[in-house]
């Protein structure tokens, strides 16, 4: 019975650690998007392909593509059928401060 309890605890810990790691990746991606001006470029210029995003804000097309794909996977941006990525609207239930925050 001790082995089962230990295995269950180990699995819970592994799940918790995995979730924390995914959260860290999101935070790092948020930081990069802010520092590189990519959020601002999407907010002011509208949907963009990685090439268009780099033309607006600078950077590398390869890294912009990877960042946009990660952001889409996290639900921050949406990928349209034309291959452009757009910021998702902030849900009304979020803080008014978040919705009004200049990007």
Q: Which domains does the chain have, with CATH numbers?
A: 2-100 (1.10.10.10)
CA-to-CA separations, 25 to 61, 74, 94, in angstroms, rounded: 20, 10, 22
The H or E element that residue 2 is part of is helix 2-35
Q: What average pLDDT score do residues 52-62 get?
A: 97
Residue 1 has pLDDT above 50, yes or no: no
**pTM value?**
0.76
Round to whole Å and give the CA distance between 75 and 87.
Answer: 9
Residue 86 token pair: 């757009």
Q: pLDDT (tens digit, 9 = 90+) per residue, 8-46?
A: 798 899 999 999 999 999 999 999 999 999 999 999 999
Radius of gyration of the chain (CA): 18
């Amino acid at each position: 019975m001790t082995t089962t309890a230990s295995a269950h605890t180990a699995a819970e810990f592994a799940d918790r650690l995995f979730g924390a790691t995914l959260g860290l990746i999101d935070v790092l991606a948020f930081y990069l998007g802010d520092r590189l001006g990519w959020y601002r470029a999407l907010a002011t210029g509208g949907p963009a392909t990685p090439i268009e995003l780099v033309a607006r804000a600078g950077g590398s097309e390869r890294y912009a593509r990877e960042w946009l794909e990660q952001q889409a996977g996290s639900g921050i941006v949406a990928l349209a059928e034309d291959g452009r990525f757009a910021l998702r609207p902030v849900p009304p239930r979020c803080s008014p401060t978040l919705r009004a925050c200049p990007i």
